[in-house]
Amino acid sequence: MTTVRRRRPGRLLALLLTSTVALTLCAAPPAQAAGATAAAKPGRTGPATPDIVDSTPGGGQALALTFDDGPDPRNTPRLLEVLREHRVKAVFCLWGEHVRQHPDLVRRIARDGHTLCNHTMRHDDMSTWSAADIRADLRATNAAIRDAVPRARIPYFRAPYGAWGQTPQVAADMGMQPLGWRLAVEDWEPPGTGELVRRLEEGAAPGAVVLLHDGGGDRSQTVDAVDQVIPRLQAQGWHFTRPARRG
């Protein structure tokens, strides 16, 4: 004799509800599904592109401060103090060998909430390098940064000397947006703090990414100029933000 097992009403109701929910989710229009994904991952705007970013996302009276060639034990700590005092976040384009020498400074940069950028291992001109050689260098630089700050987010790459060659495509393939600039005050040849302040004030343009340095030499004039110019520009209605994330 075969025994027929009856489903309990409660269990049958639960199965019906589960099936209804599944069908509803499958029938959701693409726009709704995309919206759900965006809500789950705020701020995600797609993969990096080979386009070189040189502006802020919203334009207007906004500037993005970026600092190359650090970290440097003479200049970077004081610069971080200045930025903290004025409540400004910046991008630090890190030289890989300097990262290995001063990992504590990289940790401090990250801890203060600044953005990290790959600026190659030894600041070489890569304009004639093969894609394979570029990729190897960028990987080594990222590894050095992540040795100092495990799982660090490195959203940007900047080519030394602005000599791009094949680097934009390689960087984009590795998830890093190429980062250029629209205002360079040429602080690599220190002209005096007052002159740097003048160049920053007169060169300020809506949405510009600003190229400055905290490493590669004596950058005390740069730090002094940043300390002076931030409140001056803020008084004129400017604010400081990060560069655009996509080209």
Decide if 213 is catalytic.
yes
Whether residue 70 sits in one domain with residue 34 = no
Q: Are residues 97 and 143 in the same domain?
A: yes
Are 24 and 87 contained in the same domain?
A: no
Q: CA 87 → CA 71, 81, 83, 92, distances in Å?
A: 20, 10, 6, 16
What is the pLDDT at residue 58?
84
Position 167 confidence tier, pLDDT thresholds 50, 70, 90: very high
- Write down the pLDDT at residue 46: 63
| 72, 213, 214, 227: the active-site residue | 213
Structural domain range at position 22: 10-38
Residue 47 placed within a domain: no
Distance CA 190, CA 80 (A): 20
Among residues 68, 69, 214, 227, the one annotated as catalytic is 68
Using the predicted structure, report yes or no on whether residue 35 has a pLDDT greater than 70. no
Distance CA 120, CA 160 (A): 8
The predicted structure's pLDDT at residue 1: 37
Kindly state whether residues 80 and 163 are assigned to the same domain.
yes
Within its chain, how far is the Cα of 149 from the centroid?
15
What's the pLDDT at 246? Answer: 86
- Check pLDDT > 50 for residue 5: no
Angle between helices 76-86 and 220-235 (to 10 degrees): 10
pTM listed for this prediction: 0.82
Whether 91 and 21 map to the same domain: the answer is no
Task: Please state, for a pLDDT cut of 90, what percent of the chain lies above it.
Answer: 79
For residue range 113-134, list pLDDT tens digits in order. Answer: 999 999 999 999 999 999 999 9
Residue 71 neighbours by CB under 8 Å, 6+ apart: 92, 94, 98, 99, 102, 105, 106, 109, 214, 215
Question: Same domain, yes or no, for 80 and 188?
Answer: yes
The answer to whether residues 24 and 95 belong to one domain is no
Q: How much is the average pLDDT of 185-212? A: 97
Specify whether 34 is located in the same domain as 109: no
136-158: average pLDDT: 98
Tens digit of each residue's pLDDT (9 = 90 or more) over 80-109: 999 999 999 999 999 999 999 999 999 999
Q: Find out whether 55 and 209 touch, Cβ atoms under 8 Å.
A: yes
Give domain status of residue 53, yes or no. Answer: no
User: Model confidence over 208-221: pLDDT tens digits?
Assistant: 999 999 999 999 99
Measured between alpha carbons, how far apart are the two ends of the chain, in Å? 74
- Given a cut of 90, whether residue 43 has pLDDT beyond it is no
Within a domain: residue 223?
Answer: yes
Backbone phi, then psi, for 86, in 5-degree steps? -95, 0
Whether 30 and 121 map to the same domain: the answer is no
The answer to whether residue 95 sits within a structural domain is yes
Name every residue whose Cβ is closer than 8 Å to that of residue 120 and which is 6 or more positions away in sequence. 95, 96, 126, 137, 138, 141, 159, 160
Whether residue 207 sits in one domain with residue 169: yes
